[in-house]
Structure 1
Amino acid sequence: MSLLPGKVVCITGASRGIGRGCALECAKHGAGGLILHYYGDKDTQDEIQSLKQEIEAVNPSTKVVAVPGDIADPETSKNVVEEGVKSFGRIDVLISNAGICPFWDFLSMPHSVWERTRQVNLDGSFYITQRVANQMKEQTPQGGSIIGISSISALVGGGQQVHYTPTKAGILSLMQSCAVALGPYNIRANAILPGTIATDINKEDLSDAAKREGMIKRTCLGRLGAPDDIAGPAVFLASDLAKYVTGASLLVDGGLFVNLQ
């Protein structure tokens, strides 16, 4: 069963991790077009090329346009939307995923680390959400689905994440307020809160074997998450199965949050 037949999906931070997993899952579910944002350095250029090949293998009917740029720069969101609309004529779904988490001790954290994390995670989410929402408002038929990738960190603290957790709480709040602001235009806005997902963002942190094992033991399902564990819920929220779901937050953490023992 294809849940996204012919839909045009825009994904930020699509070259790796959760964004990449979402791109592949959307293609599997029949997306007609994918607008894939990526940072644009050598590594992400190589990754986006290999992702295009994977998408072609999964669904040759899914067309792809890739747009590079720093999501912290408002011009990047402008370019992403313009290039996407030029290629496909509309945008039906946004998965706002691009983010960073440079682990750092709070007391010695340079202000530049705080500023860069906020600019990428929260400012970037605002810029792309506003741009895509304006497109969804103007297109016919009006409407669409916006999904902000927040985090379990929106709900709990982390000693090395004092700069990161407020940005993820901000994304959750952004989606809640957008649900109110955009409802009149048939635009739904929801947040996904991943738990510990093994991606490049936490690769160095999880290289500590004791810490990794501790996280696994705290998770009810007995394993760390993978990008496709988030991609499935994202496809659901993007699809018409969730047509009456807006302003919601979906915790996808394998039971990490509820396990206090």
Structure 2
Amino acid sequence: MVTGAGSGIGRSVALAFAGAGWSLALAGRRADALEETASLAGGADVLCVPTDITSPEAVTALFTAARERFRRVDLLFNNAGTFGPGGVHLEDLPHEAWRHVVDVNLTGSFLCAQAAFRVMKGQDPQGGRIINNGSISAHAPRPHSVAYTATKHAVTGLTKSLSLDGRPYRIACGQIDIGNAATEMTARMETGVLQADGRTAPEPVMDVDDVARTVLHMAELPLEANVQFATVMSTTMPYIGRG
């Protein structure tokens, strides 16, 4: 199962899994975007379920549909997320914008993980794997990104708790922290983004398919092995050291 599968990292990961022979349950807000991803999946067995991951009822319906179609869920890639309004100073961030980012990035990830636990504990053979999409922002923030950064730090705590709580049930959980993958969301990187020292400067990006290959590697490990945290980033982006 891939959330946020209608574009960007989610679509790229879904297509990598399709190419490796996986059956796919694709979740996202827009049915047309999910169907477009499915059309690119080269004949893979694909189920598209338009889903608001902030709704417990919608998430329950998503996992019910996946079980009815495939009889089990072996992997959840908890990918759906939002950055929120860009360039807004902390003191000007509307409460509604803060809540929206928290609801999607944190609560949505929790609800999907919770539903995955319920399925994975009860299926035979028992177990499965959850991979959370964190971010470089789980380690270091960008200017004016308080909601996004706070939620991505929280996702790291979610990953650790899921890993611990999943041990008795053969449920493995890891996290991939991604920096500057080339998607619609990061298109502005190449033209210039605000840096910590106040400059606006372009940043390098990497091919999103490199992220997809990493997620596929994490997913195809036996449940006795786990990539707990992986960081995949553009080699020269301003993160390590002083840039």
- Do these two structures clear the TM 0.5 threshold for a shared fold by scoring above it? yes
What is the CA–CA distance in structure 1 between the aligned matches of 2:73 and 2:202, rounded to whole Å?
Answer: 37
Counting only pairs closer than 5 Å after superposition, residues 62-211 of structure 1 correspond to structure 2 as 62-102=44-84, 103=86, 104-203=88-187, 205-206=188-189, 209-211=191-193
What is the CA–CA distance in structure 2 between the aligned matches of 1:177 and 1:152, rounded to whole Å?
Answer: 20
- In structure 1, what is the equivalent of residue 197 of structure 2? none
| 2:33 corresponds to which of 47, 53, 77 | 47
| Alpha-carbon contact 2:171-2:223 (below 8 Å) kept | no
Kindly provide the amino acid, as one letter, of the partner of residue 100 in structure 1. Answer: T
What is the CA–CA distance in structure 2 between the aligned matches of 1:143 and 1:35, rounded to whole Å?
Answer: 18
How far residue 30 of structure 1 moved from its aligned partner, in angstroms, is: 1.2
For residue 147 of structure 2, give the secondary structure of its aligned residue in structure 1. coil
Change (3 A) 1:243 1:232: farther
Q: Which has the higher contact order (CA 8 A, sep 6+)?
A: 1
- In structure 1, what is the equivalent of residue 208 of structure 2? 227
- CA offsets 1:26-75 (integer angstroms, 9 cap, x no match): 011111x10000103xxxx32222211110x2xx2x21111112111111
What is the CA–CA distance in structure 2 between the aligned matches of 1:152 and 1:197, rounded to whole Å?
Answer: 11
For residue 250 of structure 1, give the secondary structure of its aligned residue in structure 2. strand
How far residue 241 of structure 1 moved from its aligned partner, in angstroms, is: 5.5
What is the CA–CA distance in structure 2 between the aligned matches of 1:254 and 1:243, rounded to whole Å?
Answer: 30
TM-score (norm 2): 0.90
What is the CA–CA distance in structure 2 between the aligned matches of 1:240 and 1:249, rounded to whole Å?
Answer: 14
TM-score (norm 1): 0.84
For these two proteins, the number of residue pairs brought into alignment is 234
Q: CA RMSD in A?
A: 1.8
Q: Which runs of 5+ in 1 are unaligned?
A: 1-9, 217-222
How far residue 17 of structure 1 moved from its aligned partner, in angstroms, is: 0.5
Q: Which runs of 5+ in 2 are unaligned?
A: 195-199
What is the CA–CA distance in structure 2 between the aligned matches of 1:201 and 1:74, rounded to whole Å?
Answer: 26
- In structure 2, what is the equivalent of residue 220 of structure 1? none
What is the CA–CA distance in structure 1 between the aligned matches of 2:223 and 2:122, rounded to whole Å?
Answer: 22
- CA offsets 1:83-107 (integer angstroms, 9 cap, x no match): 0000000000000000011223212
How far residue 177 of structure 1 moved from its aligned partner, in angstroms, is: 1.0
Change (3 A) 1:137 1:26: same
